[in-house]
Amino acid sequence: MENIRTYPQSETQDLAQRQNRVLRNTYALLALSMVPTVLGALLGVQMNFAFFAGSPFIGLMVFLGIAWGFMWGIERTKDSGMGVALLLGFTFFMGLMLSRILQAALGFSNGGTLIALAAGGTGTIFFALAGVASTTKRNFSNMGKFLFVGLMLLLVAMVANIFFQIPALALTISVIAVALFSAYILYDINRIVHGGETNYISATLVVYLDIYNVFVSLLNLLMAFSGDRR
C-alpha cells in the first residue's frame, strides 16, 4: 500500500525533472545560438550584405522560403544532433539578415548606443517574462489562438506596408511586434514549464524567434525616435 501511495508523487517529480531539463537545455542552446547570430551579423555588416535590396517583396518571399526550409529541417531532425546543427545554421542565416538593420542603425551618429539599448531592452523583456512564465502556477496555453491570429494580422500588415511604405504604419507594426513577441516569450516559456513542449531544440527555435523579433522591432523604434543623423 505504501508503494501505491508514493507512486503518483514519484511520477510527478519525474515529470517536473524532465520539464526542468528541457528548460535548462533550451536556455543553454539559446545562449549558444547567439554566437552564430553575432558572427553572421558581423560578417553581414563587413560585407555590406543586402538581400534583394532592390525588390523588398521578392526579398521577403525568398527570405521566408529559406527560413521555413530551415525550420522544416529542424523539426524533422529535432531528435538528433543534426537538429542542433541546422538550428545553429539557421541562426547564422538570421544574423546575416540582421546585418541590414544594423547597417541602418550604424548610419546614425549614436548607432552603437541604439543597438546596445535595443539589446538591453530585449534582454530585460526576456528575463522578466521568462521569470514570470517559469515561476507562476498559471497556465497561459489559452493565449495561443489569440497570439496566432495577431501574428497573421501582423504579417499581412507587414506585406501591405512593403507596397504602401507608410512611416506611421511601420512604427505601428514595430510597436505591435514588440508587444506580440513579448507575449510569445511568456507563452512559449510557460509551455515548456507545463510540459507542452518536450523537445529542447523545438523550444529553442520558437524562443529564439521571439527574442529576434523583439530586438528588431525595438531597434526600429529607437532609430525612429532617437536616431541622430550624422
pLDDT tens, residue by residue, 101-122: 999 999 999 999 999 999 999 9
Which grid cell is 82? Answer: 543534426
Mean predicted confidence (pLDDT) in 200-226: 95
Tell which wins on pLDDT, 49 or 188.
188
The proportion of the chain whose per-residue pLDDT surpasses 70, expressed as a percent, equals 91
CB atoms within 10 A of CB 141: 12
**The amino acid at 81:** G
Q: Is the pLDDT at 130 greater than 60, yes or no? A: yes
Return the SS3 of 184.
helix
Q: Mean pLDDT in the chain?
A: 89
Predicted pLDDT at 60: 81
E strand intervals along 23-171: none
Predicted pLDDT at 82: 96
Query: What pTM does this model have?
Result: 0.90
Q: Is the pLDDT at 57 greater than 60, yes or no? A: yes
Predicted pLDDT at 11: 60
Tell which wins on pLDDT, 195 or 94.
94
Q: Is the pLDDT at 190 greater than 70, yes or no? A: yes
Do 38 and 95 touch, CB atoms closer than 8 A? yes
Q: Is the pLDDT at 5 greater than 60, yes or no? A: no
Do 185 and 130 touch, CB atoms closer than 8 A? yes
**Residues contacting 61, CB < 8 A, separation 6+:** none
Q: How far apart are CA 211 and CA 202, in angstroms?
A: 15
Mean predicted confidence (pLDDT) in 143-151: 94
